[in-house]
Structure 1
């Protein structure tokens, strides 16, 4: 009894194909981690910017790892509900600063003056988002009072244009007084 058996194969049979190991979950983990880092950096930068623009010693809202969203919103609301002083003419002291004077004997003088304003209230009580128009009147010009306006913004930044007046003589007294303060914005 002889049976014919086929000769053995030259190489062992190939095992069934196995799928490649999945790296997708690790890739997703890296993407989520990177996104979380970017979001944390943006939030951190925003807090620093708000802190520096407010001029406060603390951020407008300090997120805490264990704080709930309601607590963080409550802190933000309390900080944004700050009240500021109502500025009026009595909130400032004003003097004139003479920048230049050119006199012509008995014909009078050309005088360039600027307002020298002093805030009489704490600057932190001034609304940092508002601009205040401070209207003032200069007396001593030969053709009558000169009315001009300065703008106070960012609590301490004052903008104005120097005034050129002409006096009738070198002995003319030039005076200034605030006539109105208006809050814009």
Structure 2
């Protein structure tokens, strides 16, 4: 008669348990992946919102914005940058607080528009891109009174570029 030590018996139980667990996991994966069941509906494709224009019109040519004036474009705006304060830290650069003062240089009458406009601008010369916007409705302009940017050296020039009007 052969006697089995308790350590050999517990090894067989452990091996058997691991084998059954692996077999169960493999069976579940096989059912999920290899079932070939087409009864699960595929996700419906997203509806397309793209509009194809076949002539020389743009989307805004046919939309009535409520006024007789055409919408302004980026060239219709400019901005001045005023430095309110500057604190420098040697080779670490400077923190600069600025204010952006929008200027309308276009020919149209903005008060004739029945919608608000948002004008996006970028402050050029800052260590990291600094993009913000101002909004206007008629003769009212809403702009951030102060903005802080970092510049690499104390003699870095800052400027403003109008990038979008919508």
* TM-score after normalising by structure 1: 0.48
Over 6 Å off, 4+ runs: none
Query: Are 2:159 and 1:175 aligned?
Result: yes
Q: Distance in 1 between matches of 2:105 and 2:118?
A: 16
Look up the match of 1:103: 88
Kindly state the Cα deviation for residue 106 of structure 1 after the two structures are TM-superposed. 2.8
2:75 aligned counterpart, secondary structure = helix
Look up the match of 1:160: 143
Q: Distance in 1 between matches of 2:139 and 2:108?
A: 7
Q: 1:133 aligns with which of 115, 118, 122?
A: 118
Structure 1 regions of 5+ residues with no counterpart? Answer: 1-80
Query: Are 2:129 and 1:148 aligned?
Result: no
**RCO greater where, 1 or 2, for CA within 8 Å and sep 6 or more?**
2
1:90 aligned counterpart, secondary structure = helix
Query: How big is the alpha-carbon RMSD for the aligned residues of Structure 1 and Structure 2?
Result: 2.0
The question of whether the paired residues in 2 share the 8 Å contact of 1:109 and 1:168 is answered with: yes
Kindly state the Cα deviation for residue 105 of structure 1 after the two structures are TM-superposed. 2.7
* TM-score after normalising by structure 2: 0.54
The question of whether the paired residues in 1 share the 8 Å contact of 2:110 and 2:139 is answered with: no
Structure 2 regions of 5+ residues with no counterpart? Answer: 1-65
